[in-house]
Amino acid sequence: MTDTQRRMKSGSRLERVLRSGRFAVTAELNPPDSADPGAVYDAALVLAEVADAINATDASGANVHMSSVAICALLTRAGYEPVLQIACRDRNRIAIQGDLLGAAAMGVRNVLCLTGDDVTAGDQPQAKRAFDFDSIQLLRTARIMRDKGMFLSGRRLDVRPKLFLGAASNPFVQPYDWRPKRLAKKIEAGADFIQTQYCFDVPRFQKFMQQVRDMGLHKRVYILVGVGPLRSDRAAEFIRTKVPGVEIPDEIVERLRKTPTEKKQEEGKRICIEIIQQVREIEGVAGVHVMAYRQEELVADIIEEARLLPRRKRQDVPRKTEGEQEMLEQRASTARTEQ
C-alpha cells in the first residue's frame, strides 16, 4: 500500500483524482421520472465520458424524481462513480443514517450533504418538511460513522462506510462575509470536498476565494466550482427569479438577449466555457461541477472545448462488459435521435 492509499478516506475515484492534483470534473445527472433503469444509464452515458464522478440529485428543487440512493445503486452496478446527494428536507436522522450505510454497501463512495431546497420550491408544497438535521450536523454524523465507526447514538457499526464527504457552498448570496466562515464550519464538521452553487459572477467568486485563501481553507478542502450552460435569456431569467440561490448578473442575461434565437444555446455554452477557463486560473480551485439541466448532451463538448481533455485513458471510465456497453450506446443514440 502506498502512502497516498493509506491516507485515503474512501478510496473513491473522485478522491484519487483530487489528491493527485488533477483538475476534477463532476457532472450532475438529471434524475428520471421513470421506473426504467435504462433512463438512468442513458443519462449517465453522456456524462461518464468526461466526468470523474456523477452527482445524483436528491429531489432537487423539492420536485420528486427517482431517489438518489436508487440512482447511485444503478450507477455503481454499471461501474460508474456516483456522488450521492442527501438533503435534510425529507428524512429524519434515522432514515439518513440508514441510507448512508445502505449506499456505502451498494458501492457508493462519495456523498454530498445538503440542507435542501424548501418544499415550497417544488410541485408538492403541501408536504411536511423534516429538517431534523441541518447540513452541518449531517456532515458531522457521516464523519462519525466513517471515522468512529458508530451511529449518532453511539451504537457500534460492524463495518464502517468508507465515504468521501462533500458539502455545498454558495458564495453568491448574502451574507457574503459569512460564506467563508460557513465553509470553515463545514470543514470542521467533516467536509472533504465542496461543490458550489452555479457560478456566473466570477468577480464575486474571486472575492470569496480571496477570503478562503486568507483563512487557509483551500488547503483543507477541495473546491469544485459549479458551472452550467444557459439555454437562453428566458431560461436565465427564469432561473434567477425562480430557482433559490442562483444569481446571474445582468451582463450575462443581456449578452444572451442580444444573440439571435438560433444561436442562443451556443452562446450559453460559450459563456459556460469562458467561466470554466476563468475559475480554473483561481488559486484553490480543484475542479468544476457541471450542472447542465436538460442539456446533458452538451457536457462533453463543454469539457472538451474548455480544454480539460484529454486527461484520461478511455478504458478506465466505465467498467462494463462489452454487451452492456453496446446496449447503453444504442440506448443513448436512440435517445439522441428522439430529441
Partner 1 sequence: MSVRNWIHNRPHALEIVYQFTEWVFYRLDPLFARIGYDRTDRLIRPAEELGKKLTFDCRMCGQCILHSTGMTCPMTCPKNLRNGPCGGVRSNGHCEVKPEMKCVWGEAYERSLDMSVYGHEMTMLQPPVNRRLEGTSAWVNMLTGVDKEVPEGWVSVEELSATA
Footprint of partner 1 (CB under 8 A): 9, 88-89, 93, 115-118, 120-121, 129, 131-137, 140-141, 143-144, 147-148, 150-155, 168-170, 173-175, 177-178, 181-182, 184-185, 188-190, 197, 244-245, 247
Rounded-to-integer distance, Cα 104 and Cα 97, Å:
11
Min dist CB 103 to partner 1, Å, is: 19
Query: Given the complex with partner 1, which of 242 and 307 has the nearer CB atom?
Result: 242
Give the three cell numbers for residue 41: 444509464
- Quick one: which of 97, 112, 88, 95 has its CA closest to 10? 112
Query: Given the complex with partner 1, which of 179 and 269 has the nearer CB atom?
Result: 179
Query: Given the complex with partner 1, which of 190 and 228 has the nearer CB atom?
Result: 190
Rounded-to-integer distance, Cα 158 and Cα 173, Å:
42
Q: Which residues contact 21 (CB under 8 A, 6 or more apart)?
A: none
Rounded-to-integer distance, Cα 272 and Cα 285, Å:
16
Min dist CB 268 to partner 1, Å, is: 21
Min dist CB 120 to partner 1, Å, is: 6
Min dist CB 269 to partner 1, Å, is: 25
Query: Given the complex with partner 1, which of 181 and 263 has the nearer CB atom?
Result: 181
Min dist CB 33 to partner 1, Å, is: 23
Give the three cell numbers for residue 270: 460559450
Question: For the purposes of burial, counting CB atoms within 10 Å of the CB of 165, is it exposed (0-12), middle (13-18) or buried (19 or more)?
Answer: buried
Query: Given the complex with partner 1, which of 134 and 301 has the nearer CB atom?
Result: 134
Q: Which residues contact 33 (CB under 8 A, 6 or more apart)?
A: 65, 66
Give the chain's length.
339
- Quick one: which of 292, 251, 257, 287 has its CA closest to 272? 292
Rounded-to-integer distance, Cα 189 and Cα 139, Å:
6
Rounded-to-integer distance, Cα 140 and Cα 148, Å:
11
Query: Given the complex with partner 1, which of 46 and 224 has the nearer CB atom?
Result: 224
Min dist CB 138 to partner 1, Å, is: 9
Looking at residue 175, what DSSP letter applies? Answer: -
Min dist CB 279 to partner 1, Å, is: 18
Query: Given the complex with partner 1, which of 118 and 301 has the nearer CB atom?
Result: 118
Query: Given the complex with partner 1, which of 9 and 65 has the nearer CB atom?
Result: 9
Give the three cell numbers for residue 238: 427564469
Rounded-to-integer distance, Cα 236 and Cα 221, Å:
30
Rounded-to-integer distance, Cα 166 and Cα 76, Å:
18
Query: Given the complex with partner 1, which of 135 and 259 has the nearer CB atom?
Result: 135
Dihedral angle, C-alpha 140, 142, 144, 148, nearest 10 °: -160
Min dist CB 223 to partner 1, Å, is: 15
Min dist CB 165 to partner 1, Å, is: 11
Rounded-to-integer distance, Cα 67 and Cα 55, Å:
12
Our measurement of the distance from residue 80's CA atom to the centroid of its chain's CA atoms, rounded to an integer in Å, reads: 14
